[in-house]
């Protein structure tokens, strides 16, 4: 088994999930609390990665972040190397690719919080950021867990974007799903089976751990609220 | 304890002034008025627009026309260009539903509006408020472990804690029985008089309005029908209640 690819996949998923939370919690709060009609445009754009084939997304990012555009040249000048075919580039691609998987559970969770609680907090002088910290996030914990699990595992399983944007550089962009693709191409089915099995077992174990934890944490609360 | 003169108009010089034009589906609320009495009751049947009016005064909703001024300070101008946001209006609201924060204890709920206060002051303030509403023993409970009446008491304490200039009450004691409601009202009256807090209370219960001896705004189908001392404006209601008790 390729430990390097495994660790790289974990690193990519962890960094991506952290960035997604930092971006999506304020974004979801803004979508839920804001009243402007054009917020629907933002929500639609943020859902687009869900319906586009990952290769389309990867292709656009490859062109955009490459040396042919001003954006790509600007970033290359700022960080010293082009984003395409680097780990940083993969992070950018993964964040966009997994964005809906972090955003949608958070929007759903925040929307389910009664408006009367938000009104009460506003009347007591809560600023928007305090509203997010003290009301939205604590009351939408299950959605927060779902957002973390989904964006992490979705990034682990990502293939098209990585292939387009990252290529196959050991230690920088060769993730488990790329490794599996290489092994199958080389007719090394035994190694491919180990890699595929590892992906399945890892994802399943992560899901079981998180669902069992959120179960024990949530059950007493729901029972009490019913009493 | 002598009853404070709640209908004395001289206490608040400029008081609460408002003009409102709001449409909610088929309902049209069109009211204007000026409340200078320490305690004003908005009386009207269900669906007369009492809650809508209080929410607009609190700055929680927008409407075609909202003009609100409190003690000379403009909170909403009539062009919809300027609105002081809730929480900056020194206005507290206790809605029909207590809406306590379910993940916080009673103490944390009451202290929510005291963020700018230092810890010691906050602790004392919360204790004082819970004593006022007679709920000291509930301090460490969670909202889901409270009865409806207990939750309403805590909601009142939470709204009073930051020391608002204006307290809006929307049928705040509906879950309390008569005796408990009377006792709480009496303590609250003394408290708001001592702290110079102006109160506007919406109710469909004429006994509350009459017992308070307050200024009354009679609201019917979205229009102000009459305004004046309770004994005058609610004379017909008073007769009806008397006849029911005698007969």
Three-state SS letters, A143-210: HHHHHHHHHHHHHHCCCHHHHHHHCCCCCCCCCHHHHHHHHHHCCCHHHHHHHHHHHHHHHHHHHHHH
**A-B Cβ pairs (cutoff 8 Å, strict):** 60
Return d(Cα A169, Cα A5) in angstroms, integer: 10
Return d(Cα B199, Cα B229) in angstroms, integer: 15
Please give the CATH architecture assigned to the domain spanning B1-89+166-175+193-247: 3-Layer(aba) Sandwich (3.40)
Residue B9: its pLDDT value, please? 43
**Chain A residues within 8 A of B58 when measuring between CB atoms:** 123
Residue A50: its pLDDT value, please? 86
* B205 vs A99: which has the higher pLDDT: A99
B128-158 confidence digits (pLDDT tens):
999 999 999 999 999 999 999 999 999 999 9
* B78 vs B118: which has the higher pLDDT: B118
- CA of B98 to nearest chain A CA: how many angstroms apart? 9
B23-40 confidence digits (pLDDT tens):
888 889 999 889 988 899
CB A83 within 8 A of CB A136: no
Classify burial at A17, counting beta carbons within 10 Å of its beta carbon; exposed 0-12, middle 13-18, buried 19 or more. Answer: buried
Percent of chain B with pLDDT over 90: 45
Chain B, nearest residue to A119 by Cα? B60
A52-62 confidence digits (pLDDT tens):
888 888 888 88
> Is A122 a residue whose pLDDT tops 80?
yes
Percent of chain B with pLDDT over 70: 93
> Is A223 a residue whose pLDDT tops 50?
no
Chain B, nearest residue to A140 by Cα? B103
Return d(Cα B145, Cα B131) in angstroms, integer: 19
Which residues, 6 or more positions from B37, have their beta carbon under 8 angstroms from its beta carbon?
B6, B7, B8, B9, B11, B12, B15, B214, B215
Helix (H, G, I), strand (E, B) or coil at B75: strand
Structural domains of chain A, with CATH: 3-226 (1.10.3720.10)
- CA of A97 to nearest chain B CA: how many angstroms apart? 34
User: For the residues B163-184, what does the mean pLDDT come to?
Assistant: 88
Residue B181: its pLDDT value, please? 85
Residue B110: its pLDDT value, please? 97
Structural domain spans, chain B:
1-89+166-175+193-247, 91-163
Return d(Cα B77, Cα A200) in angstroms, integer: 61
> Is B213 a residue whose pLDDT tops 50?
yes
Question: Which of B93, B116, B145 has the CB atom closest to A123's CB atom?
Answer: B93
**Chain B residues within 8 A of A126 when measuring between CB atoms:** 87, 112, 115
- CA of A128 to nearest chain B CA: how many angstroms apart? 11
What's the mean per-residue pLDDT of chain B? 87
- Of the ranges A34-38, A178-182, B44-48, B225-229, which is most confident? A178-182
Residue B5: its pLDDT value, please? 45
> Is A219 a residue whose pLDDT tops 60?
no
Q: Do A123 and B99 count as a contact with CB atoms less than 8 A apart?
A: no
Which residues between 40 and 79 in chain B have a beta carbon less than 8 angstroms from any beta carbon of chain A? 58, 60
Return d(Cα A111, Cα A31) in angstroms, integer: 9
> Is A144 a residue whose pLDDT tops 60?
yes
- CA of B226 to nearest chain A CA: how many angstroms apart? 30
Return d(Cα B129, Cα B142) in angstroms, integer: 17
Chain B, nearest residue to A127 by Cα? B87
pLDDT confidence band for A81 (50 / 70 / 90): confident
Q: Is A224 in the B-facing interface, judged by CB distances under 8 Å?
A: yes
Element at B33 (helix H, strand E):
strand B27-35
> Is A224 a residue whose pLDDT tops 70?
no
Q: What is the ipTM of this complex?
A: 0.87
- Of the ranges A16-20, A183-187, B33-37, which is most confident? A16-20
Element at B198 (helix H, strand E):
strand B198-203
> Is B58 a residue whose pLDDT tops 60?
yes
**Chain A residues within 8 A of B95 when measuring between CB atoms:** 116, 119-120
Chain B, nearest residue to A124 by Cα? B113
CB B109 within 8 A of CB A128: no
Chain A, nearest residue to B109 by Cα? A121
Q: Do A125 and B92 count as a contact with CB atoms less than 8 A apart?
A: no
Residue A215: its pLDDT value, please? 65
């Amino acid at each position: 088994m390729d430990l390097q690819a495994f660790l790289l996949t974990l690193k990519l998923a962890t960094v991506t999930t952290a960035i997604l939370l930092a971006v999506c919690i304020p974004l979801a709060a803004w979508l839920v609390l804001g009243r402007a009609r054009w917020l629907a445009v933002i929500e639609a754009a943020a859902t687009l990665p869900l319906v586009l084939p990952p290769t389309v997304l990867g292709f656009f990012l490859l062109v955009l972040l490459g040396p042919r555009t001003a954006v790509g040249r600007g970033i290359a000048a700022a960080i010293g190397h082009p984003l395409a075919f680097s780990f940083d580039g993969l992070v950018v691609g993964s964040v966009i690719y997994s964005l809906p998987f972090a955003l949608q559970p958070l929007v759903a969770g925040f929307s389910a919080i009664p408006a009367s609680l938000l009104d009460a907090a506003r009347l007591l002088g809560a600023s928007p950021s305090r509203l997010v910290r003290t009301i939205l996030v604590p009351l939408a914990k299950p959605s927060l867990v779902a957002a973390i699990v989904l964006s992490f595992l979705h990034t682990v399983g990502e293939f098209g974007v990585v292939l387009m944007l990252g290529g196959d550089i050991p230690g920088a962009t060769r993730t488990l799903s790329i490794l599996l693709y290489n092994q199958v191409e080389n007719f090394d089915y035994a190694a491919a089976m180990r890699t595929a099995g590892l992906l399945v077992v890892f994802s399943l174990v992560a899901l079981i751990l998180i669902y069992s934890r959120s179960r024990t944490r949530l059950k007493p609360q729901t029972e009490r609220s019913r009493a | 304890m002598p009853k404070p003169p709640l209908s004395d108009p001289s206490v608040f010089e400029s008081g609460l002034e408002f003009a409102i034009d709001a449409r909610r589906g088929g309902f049209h609320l069109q009211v204007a008025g000026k409340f200078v009495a320490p305690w004003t009751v908005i009386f009207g049947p269900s669906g007369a627009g009492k809650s809508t009016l209080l929410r607009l005064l609190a700055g929680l909703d927008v409407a075609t026309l909202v003009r609100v001024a409190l003690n000379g300070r403009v909170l909403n101008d009539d062009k919809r260009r300027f609105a002081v946001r809730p929480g900056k209006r020194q206005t507290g609201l206790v809605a029909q539903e207590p809406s306590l924060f379910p993940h916080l204890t009673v103490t944390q709920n009451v202290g929510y509006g005291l963020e700018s206060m230092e810890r010691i002051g906050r602790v004392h303030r919360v204790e004082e408020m819970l004593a006022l509403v007679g709920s000291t023993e509930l301090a460490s409970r969670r909202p889901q472990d409270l009865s409806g009446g207990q939750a309403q008491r805590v909601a009142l304490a939470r709204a009073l804690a930051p020391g608002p200039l204006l307290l809006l009450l929307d049928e705040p004691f509906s879950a309390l029985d008569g005796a408990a409601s009377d006792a709480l009202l009496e303590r609250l009256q003394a408290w708001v008089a001592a702290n110079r807090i102006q109160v506007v209370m919406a109710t469909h219960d004429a006994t509350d309005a009459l017992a308070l001896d307050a200024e009354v705004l009679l609201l019917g189908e979205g229009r102000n029908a009459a305004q004046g001392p309770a004994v005058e404006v609610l004379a017909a209601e008073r007769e009806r209640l008397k006849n029911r008790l005698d007969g």
